[in-house]
Structure 1
Amino acid sequence: MQINVETKPVGSAAYDARKKRLVETIDRLYLREARAPLQKMISRIHPADMAAILDDLPPAHVVDIFHAIADTAMAADVFNQLPADRRTQLLTESSIEKLAGVLEHLPPDDLADLIGELPEDQREQLMALLGRDSKDEVESLLQYDPNSAGGIMTTDFFSLPHSLSVEEAIENIRSREDVEMVFYLYLTDEMGRLVGVVSLRQLLLTRAGTPLHKVMNRRVMKVTTDTDQTTVAMLVDKYRLLAIPVVDEDNVLVGMVTVDDVIDVIEEETTRDMLKMAGTSESETLTHSALKIATIRLPWLLAAFIGGLAATAVIGRYEEILGQVLVLSAFLPVIMGMAGNVGVQSATVAVRGLATGAIDVKDTLPLVLKELRVGLALGAFYGVILAVYGYFMHHSLQLGQVVGLTILGNMTGAALLAVLLPMIFQRMKVDPAVATGPFVTTAIDILGVLNYFVIASWIYKL
């Protein structure tokens, strides 16, 4: 029996209340040094929930309570689901010798990722403590780029010679309970080259004596070890695969990427793109140093700061108009803010679409035309509202015309600019997520202010 605290959605009050009680109970048992009851309670908790509980415990108690997990396989599962800062704490505050037995139970790809992130001295210590099989698997995985198919694949896959019969294949599967996620049976020739695939359903529905090569699908969706992890994720998502085989340059089957690894990649890429667009990075979440966080954010904010100075220079250029029509300054915040908001929306859609493959550079024209219509619709809607507001609040038809036309132009221009810039950066082989944020913000501010005063000069004939 297991106490699974996640019986309701993660955000529910019931889940939080139940988890809080478990956190308090486990911490109380730890403080009383009641090790046997503590271990008994932990053994009944699902690893995913135990990871969440450890994250809520006082930091000073986390390491000791983690090492109270008696089952090393469960401890490895818990460790694998801990947030990055808690994993770092365990690696820092525990001896490598104490952790080695736990870490050896991690899947080969996860263990390789972990070892690849360790400092050189800790890496050598841990590698020396691993068993021969685990060490060989890790070393083979560490040779690949961590962001490639080779870097995220597991070598714990299941394959059989294509010359076997269906009955022999089923017997082989029954004898290999330790293999990760056998959803597909990959078939190889005498040289280990991937030649086909059979689903478990197909295997069970075929006559026992049928040779595998007669029922296998020869058109195998596969990737090479150097395929980018984002491409792997796109393929798995597009074709609704549970796993995808990985081959080397000679088409020899060397591993597979499972759907849980793909989910991790998608989450990682989404987080990375959003943080890049905000002018920061994942390293910010792993540090408590205010100075380091400020250093990470500085370049992006510097670009926005320079853009703000340029907008200020534009306003100074039209100081005479402001002096004569002082009320224009009151509308500057809403004029700049609305354009910026539209720009952020359009840029987010474009960058995310490029990252997931939903949008391609060749789709630039249709996307631009679509955003033009969206910008015009939004600009017209808010332009009319602001024009009416300006007219009735300040009794000036000219003011209404200026702010209405400016909102129309700025929101339309912001939508176009925010979708064009990511496409241009993509074509230039520059990461759109990194460059789009500061460039879009700066350009919209400068052009928006300039457009405002040009229209004001025209309407007021100044």
Structure 2
Amino acid sequence: MSPLSFDPGRFKEPAVHHLRRDLPLLRPGQTVEEALAAIRSHGLGERVIYFYVTDEKGRLLGVVPTRRLLTASLETAVGALMVGNVVSLRDDATMLEVFEAFHAHKLLALPLVAPDGSLEGVIDLGAISEDLFDSEARIQADAVFEAIGFELGRIRNLSSTQVTLIRLRWLLVTMASGLVCALLTAGFTATLAAGTSLAFFIALVLALGESTGMQTMTVTLQALHGVKPGRQWLLRSLAREVRVAVPLGLAAGLLAGSVVFLWLREPSTALILGSAVALSIGSACVVGLSVPAFLHAAGLDSRIAASPATLAITDVLTLAIYFLIASALIR
């Protein structure tokens, strides 16, 4: 099962229902040789990512990564290899809390502990998706490809034709926005002719808008985990984003305008660029928040569609703002 097909209803399930208890436990006083012998005697269970260290009462003390255990000398004490301050969850945690912990700490498994600190068991990514558990590299690859517009897990076993069609639809969105931007540029030919130096900064304005939009989109996608965005959520999020976007846009606009003024000694161009940067960053923040929120609320796959849609809308709005300000100030 792909992470994107995970049933949202399972978020409320108790994580203890997905615990694995078949793992070998180590003691801090054991040597590596003794620990390996104990592991061979106990067996590894279904799968082991980390080895957990407990005291005589079963209370969690630390964790030993598999690589560290296998590469240490046989006489080394387990306590010397152990990492303390283990990231763990309460035994009454929900699957939503598990998701959040995996996302925040980039771990492959998490221990659940009782109120007295005793280890109840371990929950790993297999409880979420068997497909994700082949290797950490595959998890990272899926995350990267999702961010740029398609999910690797969906295309891994498809034909080349099917893969091409999946990727093409998002490229078409980008192509469509590029054509709209070309039409906008053609419509303001006279403005560009009157202020030839404006053409120098089209790429700059677009890059700032895209970067801001993608940053906001990424933060919004993280905030949407396990959340159904309603009107109140959207208004609160917009208000918070505006408080960030206004000073950010003003600072970037002032900096860009100042650089252009010092470079070209053209006050009008500096004013146009500074104003366009400030407004485009503000609009990009709104787009980066609104697009994933709308897709999520509509039940669409926001992690796949948000990136190309955000970039496309941001590019068109940014270029329109730039040209409209330029045409208003150049007479």
Q: TM-score, normalised by structure 2?
A: 0.61
2:123 maps to what in 1?
Answer: 259
Shift of 1:232: 5.5
Matched, 1:373 2:243: yes
1:429 maps to what in 2?
Answer: 299
2:92 to 204, 218, 221: 221
Asked whether the equivalents of residues 151 and 304 of structure 2 are also in contact (C-alpha less than 8 Å), the reply is: no
Structure 2 distance, partners of 1:457, 1:380, is: 21
Structure 1 distance, partners of 2:126, 2:229, is: 21
Asked whether the equivalents of residues 422 and 436 of structure 1 are also in contact (C-alpha less than 8 Å), the reply is: yes
2:148 maps to what in 1?
Answer: 278
Shift of 1:366: 2.8
Shift of 1:333: 0.3
Q: Name the CA shift for 1:260/1:391 in 2 (closer, same or farther; >3 Å).
A: same
How do 1:403-418 residues align onto structure 2 when only pairs under 5 Å count? 403-418=273-288
2:111 maps to what in 1?
Answer: 242
Q: Which segments of 5 or more consecutive residues in structure 1 lack a partner in the other structure?
A: 1-112, 114-143, 159-175, 184-198, 202-218, 224-228, 245-255
Q: Which has the higher contact order (CA 8 A, sep 6+)?
A: 2
2:219 to 349, 357, 360: 349
Opposite residue 260 of structure 1, the aligned amino acid is: D
Deviation string 1:56-86 (CA, Å, 9 cap, x unpaired) is xxxxxxxxxxxxxxxxxxxxxxxxxxxxxxx
2:257 maps to what in 1?
Answer: 387
Asked whether the equivalents of residues 274 and 433 of structure 1 are also in contact (C-alpha less than 8 Å), the reply is: no
1:308 maps to what in 2?
Answer: 178
Q: Name the CA shift for 1:230/1:401 in 2 (closer, same or farther; >3 Å).
A: same
2:206 maps to what in 1?
Answer: 336
Asked whether the equivalents of residues 18 and 123 of structure 2 are also in contact (C-alpha less than 8 Å), the reply is: no
How do 1:62-81 residues align onto structure 2 when only pairs under 5 Å count? none
Structure 1 distance, partners of 2:260, 2:330, is: 15
Shift of 1:355: 2.6
Asked whether the equivalents of residues 279 and 434 of structure 1 are also in contact (C-alpha less than 8 Å), the reply is: yes
Structure 2 distance, partners of 1:434, 1:305, is: 17
Asked whether the equivalents of residues 236 and 243 of structure 1 are also in contact (C-alpha less than 8 Å), the reply is: no
1:166 maps to what in 2?
Answer: none
Structure 2 distance, partners of 1:297, 1:275, is: 11
Asked whether the equivalents of residues 236 and 242 of structure 1 are also in contact (C-alpha less than 8 Å), the reply is: no
Structure 1 distance, partners of 2:93, 2:318, is: 49
Shift of 1:416: 1.5
Deviation string 1:287-336 (CA, Å, 9 cap, x unpaired) is 89977654442211110110110111111111111122221111100011
2:271 maps to what in 1?
Answer: 401
Shift of 1:178: 6.5
1:83 maps to what in 2?
Answer: none
Asked whether the equivalents of residues 20 and 123 of structure 2 are also in contact (C-alpha less than 8 Å), the reply is: no
Asked whether the equivalents of residues 210 and 311 of structure 2 are also in contact (C-alpha less than 8 Å), the reply is: yes
SS of the aligned residue for 1:259 comes to strand
SS of the aligned residue for 2:299 comes to coil
Opposite residue 272 of structure 2, the aligned amino acid is: V
Structure 2 distance, partners of 1:448, 1:365, is: 23
Q: Aligned residue pairs: how many?
A: 249
Asked whether the equivalents of residues 371 and 415 of structure 1 are also in contact (C-alpha less than 8 Å), the reply is: yes
Structure 2 distance, partners of 1:284, 1:232, is: 23
Q: TM-score, normalised by structure 1?
A: 0.45
Structure 2 distance, partners of 1:234, 1:327, is: 48
Among all aligned residue pairs of Structure 1 and Structure 2, give the percentage whose two residues are the same amino acid. 18
Shift of 1:404: 0.3
Higher radius of gyration, 1 or 2: 1
When the two chains are superposed, the root-mean-square deviation of aligned CA atoms in Å is 4.3
Asked whether the equivalents of residues 398 and 459 of structure 1 are also in contact (C-alpha less than 8 Å), the reply is: yes
Structure 1 distance, partners of 2:265, 2:224, is: 47
Structure 2 distance, partners of 1:283, 1:231, is: 24
Asked whether the equivalents of residues 287 and 293 of structure 1 are also in contact (C-alpha less than 8 Å), the reply is: no
Deviation string 1:386-441 (CA, Å, 9 cap, x unpaired) is 21222232221111100000000001110121012212222222222122112111
Shift of 1:280: 2.3
2:310 maps to what in 1?
Answer: 440
Asked whether the equivalents of residues 322 and 329 of structure 1 are also in contact (C-alpha less than 8 Å), the reply is: yes
Structure 2 distance, partners of 1:304, 1:322, is: 24
1:104 maps to what in 2?
Answer: none
Asked whether the equivalents of residues 20 and 122 of structure 2 are also in contact (C-alpha less than 8 Å), the reply is: no
Q: Name the CA shift for 1:431/1:269 in 2 (closer, same or farther; >3 Å).
A: farther
